[in-house]
Structure 1
Amino acid sequence: MTITIHSSFLPHLDADASLAFYRDALGFEVRDDVGYDGMRWITVGPADQPDTAIVLQPPALPGVTEDERRTLLDLMAKGSYFGVNLASADLAATFERLEASGAEIVQEPIDQPYGVRDFAVRDPAGNLIRIQQT
């Protein structure tokens, strides 16, 4: 039996800002862009990995109370609600590209004590993204 990761979900607050970050700054391709009932889901992923995707979704779907929605938005603002780890063969170039795009840099490239070199950035919704050297 083989199990692979197909899609991961990250919330967005501004679909267009998230689209610009993932498409323009990270270089992901847009695979789907679906609107429904005033909400928008955007599927993006690396062009050379067609079976792996990130779905950018509204942070609070129907049925969530206003208190729950506020809690979710507070967690997103702190950067502690969602995140994803990515990898790059050229960490320095990836960092320079994201820095030049104006992305919020949380941590510059560093050799971690657990054996990887990585850096951290936030997307427009506050999701923490760590990118490590492969």
Structure 2
Amino acid sequence: MQVRRIVVNLETPDPAAAREFYQGILGLELLMDHGWIVTYGSSQQMSVQVSFASEGGSGTPVPGLSIEVDDVDEVFAAMSASAFEIVYGPTNEPWGVRRFYVRDPFGTIVNILSHRP
């Protein structure tokens, strides 16, 4: 037996509200839209990971999602310009990432990060 895919499902009364945050700013592709469920993703191969945490690091709350991007500062600027609530950062963490937390349209804290060289 081998895990083939892990999908995160976030409950919301308005799935269409995800469009600006996940497609518009983060650039994910619309993969499926049945009205009651909307799925965004990427055709790029990615690692499968599930994390279990007692805190988010540096004394922060545990984020509901972590999304690694190639340019965290570019995404931070776009999220700030779109008036999404920045919850933490951006900051360089001692474990080698630059990151910030932002609240998505549904209230989920999302950890946006890039690994530092």
Question: Does the TM-score normalized on the shorter chain lie above 0.5?
Answer: yes
In structure 2, the residue matched to 1:42 is: 38
Q: Which runs of 5+ in 1 are unaligned?
A: 53-79
Amino acid corresponding to residue 116 of structure 1 in structure 2: V
Q: What is the number of residues matched between the two proteins?
A: 102
Q: Does 1:132 align with 2:113?
A: yes
Q: Tell which has more relative contact order, 1 or 2 (C-alpha 8 A, sep 6+).
A: 1
Q: Which runs of 5+ in 2 are unaligned?
A: 48-60
Identity of aligned residues (%): 33
In structure 1, the residue matched to 2:19 is: 19
User: Whose radius of gyration is greater, 1 or 2?
Assistant: 1
In structure 2, the residue matched to 1:33 is: 33
CA deviations 1:21-42 (Å, max 9, x no partner) are 211122111110113xxxx100
| Alignment RMSD (CA, Å) | 2.7
1:112 CA drift (Å): 2.0
Decide which structure has greater strand share. Answer: 1
Please, what TM-score do these two structures have when normalized by structure 1? 0.63
Please, what TM-score do these two structures have when normalized by structure 2? 0.71
